[in-house]
Amino acid sequence: MSHAEVSKPGVPVRELPLVPPTFCQYVGEQCDQIFHAPTKPQVFFAYASAPEAIASTISAAIELLKQKEPGIEWLPWEVVDPRGQVIFCRICSSLRSSQTLVADITTLNFNLMFEIGFALGLGMPVVTVRDATVTGDQRVFSDIGVLDTLGYVQFHNSEELAEALRKVWETPSLPAIPLREYRDQPIYLLKAPIPVNGSIALGSALKKSRIRYRSFDVVETPRLSLHDARRQVAGSKGVVADLLDPTRVRAAAHNARCALVCGMAMSQQKAVLMLQEELSDIAQPLDYRDVVKSYKNAANVPGLIPIPFN
Is residue 273 classed as helix, strand or coil in its secondary structure? strand
pLDDT in tens, 241-298: 999 999 999 899 999 999 999 999 999 999 999 999 999 887 777 778 888 999 999 9
Element (DSSP H or E) covering residue 216: strand 213-216
Q: Which residues contact 96 (CB under 8 A, 6 or more apart)?
A: 16, 17, 18, 35, 122
Task: With cut-offs at 50, 70 and 90, classify the pLDDT of residue 9.
Answer: very low
Which string of DSSP letters, residue by residue, matches 176-192?
PPPP---SSS-EEEE--
Task: With cut-offs at 50, 70 and 90, classify the pLDDT of residue 36.
Answer: confident
pLDDT in tens, 183-228: 999 999 999 999 999 999 999 999 888 789 999 998 898 889 899 9
- Say whether pLDDT at 230 is over 80: yes
Q: Helix crossing, 251-267 with 226-234: angle to 10°?
A: 50
Element (DSSP H or E) covering residue 152: strand 152-154
Is residue 121 classed as helix, strand or coil in its secondary structure? helix
Q: pLDDT value at position 127?
A: 95
* 276 in Cβ contact with 293 (< 8 Å): yes
Q: What is the CA radius of gyration of the chain?
A: 19
Element (DSSP H or E) covering residue 272: strand 271-277
Q: Establish whether the linkage from the previous residue to 76 is cis, with ω within 30° of 0.
A: no
Q: Which residues contact 220 (CB under 8 A, 6 or more apart)?
A: none
According to CATH, the topology of domain 187-309 is Rossmann fold (3.40.50)
CA-to-CA dists, residue 138 to 113, 194, 252, 300, angstroms: 15, 22, 12, 36
Task: With cut-offs at 50, 70 and 90, classify the pLDDT of residue 5.
Answer: low
3-170: what CATH class? Answer: alpha beta
Q: Which residues contact 20 (CB under 8 A, 6 or more apart)?
A: 30, 31, 32, 33, 34, 35
Q: pLDDT value at position 7?
A: 53
**What φ, ψ does residue 265 adopt, rounded to 5°?**
-65, -40
Q: Which of 44, 17, 15, 241 is nearest to 129 (CA)?
A: 44
- CATH topology agreement for domains 3-170 and 187-309: yes
Q: Which of 206, 196, 305 is nearest to 245 (CA)?
A: 196
Q: Running DSSP on this structure, what letter comes out for residue 9?
A: T
* 273 in Cβ contact with 293 (< 8 Å): yes
Domain ranges of the chain: 3-170, 187-309
Residue 307 CB burial class (10 angstroms; 0-12, 13-18, ≥19)? exposed
- Say whether pLDDT at 308 is over 70: no
When the pLDDT of each residue in the chain is averaged and rounded to a whole number, the result is: 88
CA distance 131 to 126: 17
- Say whether pLDDT at 137 is over 60: yes
For 120-134, b/e burial (b = at least 16 CB within 10 A) is: bbbbbbbbbbbbeee
Q: pLDDT value at position 13?
A: 63
pLDDT in tens, 117-133: 999 999 999 999 999 88
Task: With cut-offs at 50, 70 and 90, classify the pLDDT of residue 2.
Answer: very low
Task: With cut-offs at 50, 70 and 90, classify the pLDDT of residue 300.
Answer: very high
Residue type, 123: G
